[in-house]
A = this chain, B = another copy of it.
Amino acid sequence: MNQPQTPDFAKGGGILPVIAQDHETGEVLMLAYMNKEAWEKTVKTGKLHYWSRSRRKLWLKGETSGHVQTVRAIFLDCDGDAILAQVEQAGGAACHTGYRSCFHRRLEKDAFVVVGEPVFDPREIYKK
């Protein structure tokens, strides 16, 4: 079967979703988006860059917190419209709330319940 050889940004209107996964534990840390420029900067620098949909700007993950993500391996999916980045997560946490993973709430019956403990206090990291 023919599979796209490069990321296909067109299908998602110029962006595609990127999964950041801890390269050692396999834990899924976060999901964010890249446009073509973010993709190129990520490949060039080896640090994850994303496109912020809400702020509409390119964003180096960790530029404020220092919690940068260093690429260990990058995978493209069969359709070419999603990326998996296996990363080394600086600071031990990817989520701006202080938790290791953005996916720190698990569905229990009818409600999402926080799982685990925060790694840092966001008030100290972001000064707000």
A74: chain B residues at CB < 8 Å are 106-107
In the bound complex, CA of A48 to CA of B6 (Å):
28
- Check: A43 CB closer than 8 A to any chain B CB: yes
Number of copies: 2
A101: chain B residues at CB < 8 Å are 75
Q: Check if B104 sits within 8 Å of A75, measured CB to CB.
A: yes
A102: chain B residues at CB < 8 Å are 77-79, 82
Question: Chain A interface mostly helix, strand, loop or mixed?
Answer: loop
Shortest C-beta distance, A97 to chain B (Å), equals: 5
- Select which of B19, B43, B77 is within 8 A of A107 by beta carbon: B43
Number of interface residues of A (CB under 8 A): 40
Q: Check if B1 sits within 8 Å of A82, measured CB to CB.
A: no
> Which residue of chain B is the closest to A102 with respect to CB atoms?
B77
Question: Provided the pairs A28-B19, A106-B74 are in contact, do residues A5 and B111 lie with their beta carbons within 8 angstroms?
Answer: yes
Q: Check if A106 sits within 8 Å of B25, measured CB to CB.
A: no
A21: chain B residues at CB < 8 Å are 26, 28
In the bound complex, CA of A25 to CA of B17 (Å):
22
